[in-house]
Chains A and B, each alone.
Chain A
Amino acid sequence: MSNLIRKENGKNAVAVQEQIGQYLTFLVDKENFAINILDVKEIIEIANVTHVPLTPDYIHGVINLRGNVVPVIDLSARLKHHSAEVNKRSCIVLVEVDVLEGPQMIGMLVDEVREILEIPPTNIQPAPDFGTDIRTDFIQAMARVGDVFIILLAINHVLSLEELSQLNNLTHEQQLD
């Protein structure tokens, strides 16, 4: 059942007008972001991360999640282009991304997990064309909570496997620099 809902949600990700949604907010580089709670598989403490050589900064490494090797993306590096400082509040938010071969788990390294918010559709607005310091295609929408706006992340774009896996060219450049 929950799967069904998730699918539905994924399909209409762009259509903002929906019933009241729950969103998980977290802190990345001192800024609040949110993702739909239905995208979140679990949140784990930051464990022993194995660094993967020859990868760009936004790949934090890989972890052992109950016997499976799961890549961890450094959201700070991905969104803000500078690596996160791991502190004792750092967490890994695990989400599932659909690829051809089936769902793939990916971890997102965040500085701190805040709370779960209920945001009515009326408070959700499309992203501005410019004005944010992160790539516009990463933004699914802006949610107004009280007086502040929180960016709702478009997980499919932020964790686009096609894009993440383009590490080869990048690393080679880095190598040669």
Chain B
Amino acid sequence: MSEFDAALTTFAQESEELLISMEDALLSLESSPDDSETINSVFRAMHTIKGSSGLFGFNAIVAFTHEAESVLDKVRNGERAIDAELISVLLDSKDLTARLIEHCLTQKDAPLPPELEAASARLIKQLSGSKETGIQASEAETSKLESEGGGDISVDGSWLISLKFQSDALRNGMDPLSFIRYLQTLGEIKEIITLIPGMPDGDEMDPESCYLHFKIAFQSDASKQNIESVFEFASDDCDINILPPNSKVEEYLNLLDAQDESHVKRIGEMLVQVGALTQNDVNRALQKQNESRESDDQPGKPLGKILVEQHVVQEPVVEQALKKQEQTKQKLAAEANYIRVDATKLGQLINLVGELVISSAAMNLIVERHGLADAGDVAASMNTLVSSIRDTALELRMVQIGETFSRFRRVVRDVSNELGKTIELQISGGETELDKTVVEKINDPLMHLIRNSLDHGIESPEQRLAVGKPAEGIVQLNAYHESGHIVIQIADDGAGLNCEKIVAKAIANGLIKPDHGLSQQEIFDLIFAAGLSTKEAATNLSGRGVGMDVVKKNIEALRGTVGIDSEEGQGTTITINLPLTLAIIDGFMVGTEMDRYIIPLSMVDECIEMDPNECEIDEVQHYINLRGQVLPYLRLGDYFNSRKSDTVKRRESVVVVKSGQNKAGFVVDELHGEHQTVIKPMGKVFENLKGITGATVLGDGNVALILDVQGLIQAAIKNRTRPANFLKA
């Protein structure tokens, strides 16, 4: 039973993946309807789901997917053109399949609810009923002629051997006749035709040259290899082509089919293995391929084609081999490149690696304390290993964000249809990687933001044309890495935010007072406040004013930030900044008089010594001159321990940190250097604590706190607007 359940789980996962890839494929078909590979992948999705559902006896799914499959098969064979209408129907079919699967998985034995039944019947009708656009199956199966460039021999069940002796053959001591005679020891020569295509007239003929070509129909049970070995000595002076009898073709096809799929083989290799070709055939064909490639810059002709042209193997055999090769490739692509791993196991591994990092830090500490020079080397090399293990382990959890992004293509398509707008989604940076847990949690906020852009951002086509924009709106999704963070941007070229509207609404809601004196940026940030929506009428998509605050909260829960930038009439850009991982980071350890803190290394720009002269005027001035730039700074010790420490002059350092556009300095007493930091959650007690994101266990067993650079800078900015308070703090 449990095995069955496991199989069901696999089925569910597999179908989900297939359906996702099907949706992607369908959407990309909209722009490039002739891409046969994409059509194939849609077909495969339906086909595979049908097959696996059959295994479990989910007849409803089988019945439906069968219809979809047959329509797709027609498309694949060119009997039916793919158009927007069909794509819509297929997208609906995909959704229905998903629902059918869900139904079958949750209530296996219950009959299909009527609405599913109806939907399925309707779609089947749409699938098959919509116009069967022409392109009838071209009578492709025109009977092929065994044209053998010269004499025609057509004896079924016989090998066709063509021997083209070169002119030097006789001079080199070859006797064509002896080969033919020897051939008879292997079987029976049914028919032989002698050709003399290159024979010059009269005087020009050199009696010592050989002009003879032979076509032999040969009946034998010997393998191709054996027949070829008859002509082994002649191979230098003679072009030998041995075409297997048609009766053998069947055998080769079966053998090809039975070949194992453990790795992708080259086509020649496959054909040699089943005996349809000999190694010599392949070598010659490869040579030919190289020659043809040298002549022009194009990639050479496919090997299969050359082989057929050379009449060493029948076309069906090559086709079958190609098909098999393709199958193997796909199977391997699906199987070997990925191993399904339970996410919790991966989590355990990461935790263990975390512990490893901590203990290796402890070991380093001891080695250092005892001054063991030889142990130091070992410790250093182990350190390197540990950090690469750490990086690799974390990479295991990294996934590309592209899949998440492309899911939104469907959203954009559906929503823009619903709203009567034409909107194009442009995706870039899909290959950017980030932690899987982050990806999962970012999905909902992204969905929300995109819907917002579609609904509020992009105007209707008429409005757009009226202000001189193209009717089609553009929403851009972009992701890239920036100093240990991943940045995700959602940009639209719509109407932009209207400051006055926001302010009016905020005042109406009592969020701000009429004499607010807020900067434009602060006004934009208001839309993240609860209960604020600038859309007058709420649609069923968005506009209820719940959401943006949830978006902000969700992103902050991932230790990320969200910012907004907008220009009225030009569009809005929302920028999400997220940490790459939630587990282990490279940190930079600093110390104030009593405590030690970790600053994420990716945010540290540089460290400089605090100039004592600057310190003198500390009380009034909280910035220093960094190579001509103003750098505001924060005294970590004072900020955190609100009581003023006794002003013993120490040597202080400034750690210059950078967060987005902002740069700031943290004044600390000690610099401890780099430290591999395993982020330990601080627990619910500290969830509202600003300025600290987590804690880590140091090598000596103590706990150090990890600074939230962005949070600190923001807190400082906030405080600066109330200077009196800040000074006291």
Contacts of A145 in B (CB 8 A): none
The complex places the Cα of A52 from the Cα of B691 at a distance, in Å, of: 11
Residues of chain A with a CB closer than 8 A to B527's CB: none
In the assembled complex, which residues on chain A have CB atoms less than 8 Å from the CB atom of B692? Answer: 52-54
- Asked if A55 contacts B688 (CB within 8 A), the reply is no
Q: Is the CB of A53 within 8 A of B595?
A: yes
Q: Residue B537 at the A interface, CB < 8 A? A: no
Q: Which residue from chain A places its CB closest to the CB of B697 in the assembled complex?
A: A64
- Contact of B680 with A168 in the complex, beta carbons under 8 Å: no
Main secondary structure on A side of the interface with B: mixed
Q: Which residues of A contact B640 (CB under 8 A)?
A: 53-54
A132 to B358 Cα, complex, angstroms = 46
| B684 near A161: Cβ-Cβ < 8 Å | yes
The answer to whether A50 touches B704 (Cβ under 8 A) is yes
- Tell me, yes or no, whether A82 is within 8 Å of chain B by CB: no
Q: Please indicate which of the listed interface residues A69, A99, A165, A166 has the most CB atoms of chain B within 10 Å of its own CB.
A: A69
Nearest residue in A to B595 (C-beta to C-beta)? A51
Whether B510 sits at the interface, judged by CB under 8 Å, is no
Query: Does A104 belong to the interface (CB within 8 Å)?
Result: yes
Whether A46 sits at the interface, judged by CB under 8 Å, is no
Report chain A residues within 8 Å CB of B696: 69
Is the pair A165, B705 in contact by a Cβ cutoff of 8 Å?
no
Residues in A with CB closer than 8 Å to B689 are 52, 54-55, 167-168
B490 contacts the other chain (CB 8 A): no
Most buried by A among B640, B684, B688, B702: B684
Which residues of the other chain, B, contact A59 by a CB distance below 8 angstroms? 685
Least CB distance from B582 to A in Å reads 14
Residues in A with CB closer than 8 Å to B686 are 52, 55, 71, 165, 167
**CB <8 Å contact, A99 and B684:** yes
Interface string of A109-133 (1 = CB under 8 A from B): 0000000000000000000000000
Contact at B688–A50, with CB atoms within 8 Å? Answer: no
A68: chain B residues within 8 A (beta carbon): 680
- State in angstroms the CA–CA spacing of A106 and B702 once bound together: 17
In the bound complex, what is the Cα–Cα distance between A168 and B687 (angstroms)? 9
User: Cα distance A12–B355 when bound, in Å?
Assistant: 39
Total contacts A-B at CB 8 Å: 88
**Known pairs A50-B705, A175-B642; A101 contacts B691 (CB<8 A):** no
| B725 on interface, CB distance cutoff 8 Å | yes
A71 x B683 contact (CB < 8 A): yes
Cα(A99)–Cα(B705), bound, Å: 23
Chain A residues within 8 Å of B701, by CB = 47-48, 64
Closest to B696 in A: A69
Once bound together, how far apart are the Cα atoms of A52 and B641, in whole Å? 9
Contacts of B626-642 to chain A: CB distance below 8 A? 639-642
Q: How far is the CB of A71 from chain B (nearest CB, A)?
A: 5
Q: How many of B's residues come within 8 Å of A, CB to CB?
A: 32
Q: Are A50 and B690 in contact (CB under 8 A)?
A: no
Residue A146 interfacial (CB < 8 Å): no
Verify if B366 is at the interface (C-beta below 8 Å from A): no
Question: Which residues 75-130 of B have a CB within 8 angstroms of A?
Answer: none
A13 at the interface (CB under 8 A from B): no
Per the 8 Å Cβ criterion, residues 62-98 of A in contact with B are 62-64, 67-71
Residues of B within 8 A of A176 (CB): 725, 728-729
- Tell whether, in the assembled complex, residue B595 and residue A166 are in contact, meaning their CB atoms are under 8 Å apart: no
A17 within 8 Å of B by Cβ? Answer: no
B681: chain A residues within 8 A (beta carbon)? 69
Per-residue A-contact encoding for B688-729, CB less than 8 Å = 1, 0 else:
111110011100011111000000000000000000010011
The smallest beta-carbon distance between B125 and chain A, in angstroms, is 48
On chain B, the residues within 8 Å of A174 by CB distance are 642
* CB nearest to A53 among chain B residues: B640
State the CA gap A27–B387 with chains docked (Å).
46
**In the complex, what distance in Å separates the CA atom of A55 from the CA atom of B729?**
14
Query: B688–A166 contact, CB under 8 A?
Result: yes
A158 interface residue (CB < 8 Å to B)? no
Q: Is the CB of A69 within 8 A of B695?
A: yes
Contact across chains for B684 and A50 when beta carbons are under 8 A apart: no
Partner of A165, one of B639, B641, B687, B729: B687
Our pick among A51, A53, A67, A71 for the contact of B685 (Cβ within 8 Å) is: A71
Cβ contact within 8 Å between A50 and B703: yes
Question: CB of B682 within 8 A of chain A?
Answer: yes
Residues of B within 8 A of A99 (CB): 684
> Which residues of chain A from 153 to 167 have any CB-CB distance to chain B below 8 Å in the complex?
161, 164-167
**Inter-chain contact B703/A53, CB cutoff 8 Å:** no
Closest chain A residue to B692 by CB distance? A52
A63-B703 contact given A52-B686, A106-B685, CB 8 Å threshold? yes
B380 to chain A, nearest CB (A): 24
Q: Is B617 an interface residue (CB 8 A)?
A: no
The reply on B466 being an interface residue by CB < 8 A is: no
Q: B276 to chain A: closest CB distance in Å?
A: 63
B-side contacts of A47, CB under 8 Å: 701
Q: Are A64 and B702 in contact (CB under 8 A)?
A: yes
CA distance A167 to B688 in the complex (A): 7
Q: Are A104 and B705 in contact (CB under 8 A)?
A: no
| A69-B681, A175-B729 as given contacts; A50 in contact with B687, CB under 8 Å | no
Tell me, in angstroms, the Cα distance from A69 to B681 when the chains sit together. Answer: 7
Most buried by A among B594, B683, B692: B683
Chain B residues with CB below 8 A from A63, complex form: 703
Q: Which residues of B contact A70 (CB under 8 A)?
A: 683
Q: Please give me the residue from chain A that is nearest to B358 by CB atom.
A: A67
* Interchain CB contact under 8 A, B682 and A71: yes
Q: Which residues of B contact A161 (CB under 8 A)?
A: 684-685
Closest chain-A Cβ to B151's Cβ sits at a distance in Å of 84
For B687, list chain A residues within 8 Å (CB).
165
A175 vs B725: C-alpha distance when bound (angstroms): 8
- Give the nearest-CB partner of A55 in chain B: B689
List the A side residues contacting B728 at CB < 8 Å. 176
Closest B residue, CB atoms, query A175: B729
Within residues 347 to 379 of chain B, which ones have a CB less than 8 A from any CB in chain A?
355, 358
Whether B594 and A51, one on each chain, are in contact in the complex, defined by CB atoms closer than 8 angstroms, is: yes
A94 smallest CB distance to B (angstroms):
13
Distance (whole angstroms) from the CB of A46 to the closest CB of chain B: 13
A101 to B697, CA, bound (A): 22
Q: How far is the CA of A85 from the CA of B466 in the complex (A)?
A: 74
* Contact status B688-A168, CB under 8 Å: yes
Which of chain A's residues has its CB closest to B718's CB? A172
Q: Which one of B683, B691, B702 contacts A48 once the chains associate, using CB atoms below 8 Å?
A: B702
A67 to B355 Cα, complex, angstroms: 7
Interface residues in B653-693 by Cβ distance below 8 A to A read 680-692
C-alpha gap A63/B682 in the complex (Å):
10
How far apart are the CA atoms of A71 and B729 in the complex, in Å? 25
| A86 CB to nearest chain B CB (Å) | 15
Q: A53-B595, A104-B684 are in contact. List 18 more A-B contacts (CB 8 A).
A: A48-B702, A48-B703, A50-B595, A50-B695, A50-B702, A53-B691, A53-B692, A54-B692, A59-B685, A62-B682, A63-B703, A64-B702, A69-B695, A71-B685, A165-B687, A165-B688, A168-B688, A175-B642
A-B contact pairs, 8 of them (CB 8 A): A52-B686, A52-B689, A52-B705, A64-B697, A69-B697, A99-B684, A164-B685, A168-B689
Interface residues of chain A, those whose CB is within 8 Å of chain B, are 47-48, 50-55, 59, 62-64, 67-71, 99, 101, 104, 106, 161, 164-168, 174-176
Enumerate the 6 nearest inter-chain pairs by beta-carbon distance, A residue then B residue, closest first: A53-B640, A168-B688, A50-B703, A69-B680, A69-B695, A161-B684
